[in-house]
Amino acid sequence: MTQEVITLLSTREIDKMRRAGQLAAQLLDHLTPLVQPGISTLTLNDEAERWTQAHGAKSAPLGYNGFPKSICTSVNEVVCHGIPRADEILQNGDIINIDVTLLVDGYHGDTSRMFCVGQPSETARRLVEVTEKCLHLGIAEVKPGARIGDIGAAIQTYAELQGFSVVQDFVGHGISHIFHTAPQIPHYGRRNTGKRLRPGMVFTIEPMINEGTYEVEVLADKWTAVTKDRGLSAQWEHTLAVTETGVEILTLS
């Protein structure tokens, strides 16, 4: 992480985060009908970049620490940071996470969704549904005075009860005019541990849930993270603001 200090955002800054978040959600809405058997992940990337530019925004991942594309496309056993490719063609039964981050007026909107391509297996469909539920269970823990550990505990408890595992190598993160900042938001852990949440904190919750082992490895491209056992992985993500009374999801469509 690039910064240790947790910055509380002003109402004006949260307004900017909301605008960026809503545009990021609209981009995922725009890509949704394109996610079909036979399309390449590069085609999805190129359409995302075209749409982003047409809406006066920037793709934050493009060039970030050398990342070569505008979005992340993580298919089947890819946990996160999959790089779109012309030769990666979606097939019936695949599951794919599309992760987008838009830079609008200097602030970031970061969100991702899972998509089922054609007819996935029952296991794949259940993994996608459980992971989405994990995201919402994590969000439900967010309110002033709660602790960061409460978020991870809620997610881990539910995922493991369903027979799945929680990735520990990648976590949610603070976000503002800086793409990745404090605090880190693990998707596993114990209740009543970690920093207390305060109004003005803005961060992502983005659980990565695996069919088999929680262990991952990063491929030779230095970006693509895959499950160590090559089982399936799923992820959903929202950017959130802690409010005086609870939580606001900034990346709602």
pLDDT tens digits, residue range 195-227?
A: 999 999 999 999 999 999 999 999 999 999 999
Tokens of 113: 């969704």
Percentage of the chain beyond pLDDT 70 is 99
Looking at residue 1, its pLDDT comes to 43
Distance CA 249, CA 155 (A): 17
Q: Is residue 5 part of a domain?
A: no
pLDDT at position 2 over 50: no
pLDDT at position 3 over 70:
no
Instruction: Using a cut of 0.85, tell me whether the model's pTM lies above it.
Output: yes
Tell me: pLDDT of 20 over 70. Answer: yes
Does 136 belong to an annotated binding site? no
Residue 189, pLDDT above cutoff 50: yes
Examine residue 242 and state whether it is found in any structural domain, yes or no.
yes
- pLDDT, the chain, mean: 97
User: What are the helix and strand counts (H, E) for the chain?
Assistant: 4, 15
Tell me whether residue 81 is annotated as binding: yes
CA distance 64 to 71: 11
| Residue 248 assigned to a binding site | no
CATH of the domain at 83: 3.90.230.10
Is residue 203 assigned to a domain?
yes
30 is in an annotated binding site: no
pLDDT, average across residues 107-136: 98
If we measure between CA atoms, which residue out of 141, 95, 91 comes closest to residue 115? 95
Task: Please report whether residue 188 resides in a domain.
Answer: yes
Would 4 be classed as within a structural domain?
A: no
Residue 173 marked in a binding site:
yes
The 10 Å CB-count burial string (b at 16+, else e) for 155-186 is bbebbeeeebbbbbebbbbbbbbebbbbbbbb
* Residue 176: pLDDT over 80: yes
Task: Give me the mean pLDDT over the 45-60 stretch.
Answer: 98
Q: Is the pLDDT of residue 118 over 50?
A: yes
The domain tally of the chain equals 1
Does residue 6 sit within a domain?
no
Tell me what pLDDT residue 4 has. 75
Q: What residue numbers bound the domain in which 53 lies?
A: 11-249
